[in-house]
Structure 1
């Protein structure tokens, strides 16, 4: 299976890095196209476009102005180690062995507003650009139109390389929407994580995000390839619930 994750807003460029292997994002030329548009924006433009504070707008304007291709190696960090949101607390990429990271490089992809699609060891510069941002560009009115079918095409290529039978979608709706469904040549499995709250099982967003990362790490460590194997997932105390599951939406309960 090929796992898809969303990126995170929170970044870590300070912690020690275990792996020295660093690859170049496959769609870096397209990222450079976006960077040209982003460099035109003032801090005020960025604040309005992204709905962020003046401080964050100034920081990201500086980041966009400094962005260049080829990217200075000394300033980049591997994507799976740079992102530090809830999903990545579950993934714990820093605990993966060299061989597990090598496996992840073939079986895990991170969707990105700026980079399109990233392998775990792709070096990236600090940035903030959510996929849902309505940034006008030469290809259309927003990032969905900018990326078009390219993300699905790359995913198809990798599915062929690894012989994977389906996509394990652990990304958010905002990001998975960027993968053109008509182009994608694979079945999609989107796990659902529910916690018992006041006697009922409900999706608790913060827990579900971490569980997506935990499942991704579990799949990598187990080298899981089938739905039958995926049903054995027991990370973070979740368990597969056959009664409420479907083929495309397996449900995992906790509590």
Structure 2
């Protein structure tokens, strides 16, 4: 069973690295290098317009891409699961993981990324900001979905734990996976709450819930998807009535 989640815009570059030493590197760094080369042709002002970000944040990321360099090691890069912050990662709360938790996460969780394609929790990465939906042309490719093509899907298909794919990613990031070419049985997870008599997805709450379920998977070492139905964090419970075979709805 593999779980896919989205990355985060907010980063913690002061994250502790001494909690684990089994670091790895992303599989598609040569592709990442091509993206960085394209991004370096943008001024800070043009990055601001491309990414729809403030002048301060665009300058920070302009400098990040100028500094970006291979090879990655512990002196210039950070483990992805600890670098990413934001609602999903607050739910995961990996800061208190034991060694066995990190190792299980490494086997079970994959993070989808605009710059790196697909990464494992202990992959060392350098700080960046690049959402998957960014309209940047790279060579003959018109955007990042086109650039990554089937690379992300192929990486999942090659994974020995790919019998089931649990989708805890956002729509923007999951679009980078070609569902038609997936070998895994796909289960999409949705978190909804009752508003005005109807169940709705509330973005900020759903993000945190995705993180909480990711943590639930890691802490309980879950390899059978059926065990996910026991998830009851933050008052969410599996809703059998609303769910289908491939879409599991948790409500509160």
Give the TM bin, normalised by the shorter chain.
over 0.9
CA gap 1:213/1:139 in 2 versus in 1, 3 angstroms: farther
Task: Give the conservation status (yes or no) of the 8 Å contact 2:35–2:115.
Answer: yes
Alpha-carbon displacement from aligned partner over 1:146-186 (angstroms, at most 9, x marks no partner) = 1000000000111xx22x42100000010000112222111
In 2, the alpha carbon distance for the partners of 1:227 and 1:63 equals 39
Match of 2:213 in 1: 215
Q: For residue 22 of structure 1, report the CA deviation from its aligned partner.
A: 1.9
What SS is found at the alignment partner of 1:191?
A: strand
In 1, the alpha carbon distance for the partners of 2:39 and 2:137 equals 10
Structure 1 stretch displaced more, 192-201 or 138-147: 192-201
Task: Provide the TM-score with structure 1 as the length reference.
Answer: 0.94
2:63 pairs with 1:62: yes
Q: For residue 200 of structure 1, report the CA deviation from its aligned partner.
A: 3.7
Q: For residue 82 of structure 1, report the CA deviation from its aligned partner.
A: 0.4
Alpha-carbon displacement from aligned partner over 1:202-230 (angstroms, at most 9, x marks no partner) = 21111110100111111122222333211
In 1, the alpha carbon distance for the partners of 2:163 and 2:21 equals 31
Match of 2:238 in 1: 240
Q: For residue 199 of structure 1, report the CA deviation from its aligned partner.
A: 4.4
What SS is found at the alignment partner of 2:118?
A: strand
CA gap 1:23/1:142 in 2 versus in 1, 3 angstroms: same
Q: For residue 19 of structure 1, report the CA deviation from its aligned partner.
A: 2.2
| CA RMSD in angstroms, aligned pairs only | 1.4
In 2, the alpha carbon distance for the partners of 1:146 and 1:10 equals 24
In 1, the alpha carbon distance for the partners of 2:31 and 2:225 equals 34
Match of 2:90 in 1: 89
Match of 1:31 in 2: 32
Task: Provide the TM-score with structure 2 as the length reference.
Answer: 0.95
Match of 1:104 in 2: 105
Q: For residue 67 of structure 1, report the CA deviation from its aligned partner.
A: 0.5
- The correspondence of residues 75-224 of structure 1 with structure 2, limited to 5 A, is 75-158=76-159, 161-162=160-161, 164-224=162-222
Task: Give the conservation status (yes or no) of the 8 Å contact 1:139–1:145.
Answer: no
Q: For residue 53 of structure 1, report the CA deviation from its aligned partner.
A: 1.0
Match of 1:20 in 2: 21
What SS is found at the alignment partner of 1:156?
A: helix
What SS is found at the alignment partner of 1:231?
A: helix
In 1, the alpha carbon distance for the partners of 2:225 and 2:173 equals 23
**Unaligned ranges ≥5, structure 1:** none
Task: Give the conservation status (yes or no) of the 8 Å contact 2:15–2:83.
Answer: no
Q: For residue 188 of structure 1, report the CA deviation from its aligned partner.
A: 1.3
Alpha-carbon displacement from aligned partner over 1:112-134 (angstroms, at most 9, x marks no partner) = 00000010001111100000011
Match of 2:2 in 1: 2
Q: For residue 139 of structure 1, report the CA deviation from its aligned partner.
A: 4.1
CA gap 1:117/1:139 in 2 versus in 1, 3 angstroms: farther
**Unaligned ranges ≥5, structure 2:** none
